[in-house]
Structure 1
């Protein structure tokens, strides 16, 4: 999977994403899901996707288990976004992790937590029970972002 690979969702996956997003917007986080809103890189219009934030060592991360998807490309263009669950709507900056070792640590924790849900979405050759060496080999295929709240006065 490369930067230019376009991931297409099936009709069923779009329906599930819509339902999870709808529930998260109303404060019912299916297994902790939240809604990420990013600005479209071409249109500037807001785009909303359900995500599974992971807290590790008091930091929050987002992983793109489908790889370099549209929301990832949008965040790379404009790292300012919003995370919402119910009435809680927080402005955040998403900072992509570049180093393989921190990514591998986050990916291992993410797959331990969310592997049951995202295992089928992972790139070929990677599974939800992958060891650190396998994660290291696939780290470039799975973007990882640290979520930093934007503090306003």
Structure 2
């Protein structure tokens, strides 16, 4: 049984996330925090699948997930480019299909082994705001 959230360790938060953003190896999700209104920035892997973009939370019900649900929109930044999106949470068979593609793209097995139910991993389709 899980609590629905796998908290990252100190090294990930303080070193790895900063290094990932600085190197540009991942996109940076920017979303307004639901309680403070302050901008949250976190590195994410964006999955491109059949012409759509998706965010998958490999750590479960994270703060960025809860913030994105509340805000309904976000910005992604990568290598100096920024783009705004509306976030639409997906479920059921579509979520399972996206998670399978995500697992095939990145080495994230340990996160999904610890929380094997696809329902434990929120998935958002990102629709560009023109």
TM-score (norm 1): 0.78
Figure out how many residues of one structure are paired with residues of the other and give that number: 128
* 1:104 alignment partner in structure 2: 96
1:38 to 31, 43, 52: 31
- Paired position in structure 1 for 2:114: 124
**Structure 2 vs 1, CA of residues 87 and 150 (structure 1 numbering), >3 Å: closer, same or farther?**
same
Moved over 3 A (4+): none
Contact 1:67 1:141 in 2 (8 A): yes
Q: Which runs of 5+ in 1 are unaligned?
A: 25-29, 127-137
Aligned to 2:43, which of 36, 39, 50?
50
Distance (Å, rounded) in 2 between the aligned partners of 1:42 and 1:59: 30
8 Å contact from structure 1 (residues 67, 123) kept in 2:
no
Name 1:82's counterpart in structure 2: 75
Which of 78, 85, 98 lines up with 1:92 in the alignment? 85
| Residue segments in structure 2 that go unaligned for 5+ positions in a row | none
Selected match of 2:105 from 104, 109, 113 = 113
Does 1:142 find its partner at 2:121?
yes
Determine which structure has more spread, i.e. the larger CA radius of gyration: 1
Aligned CA RMSD, in angstroms, stands at: 1.5
| Structure with more strand by fraction | 2
Matched residue SS, 2:23:
helix
| Partners of 1:97 and 1:125 in 2: CA distance | 18
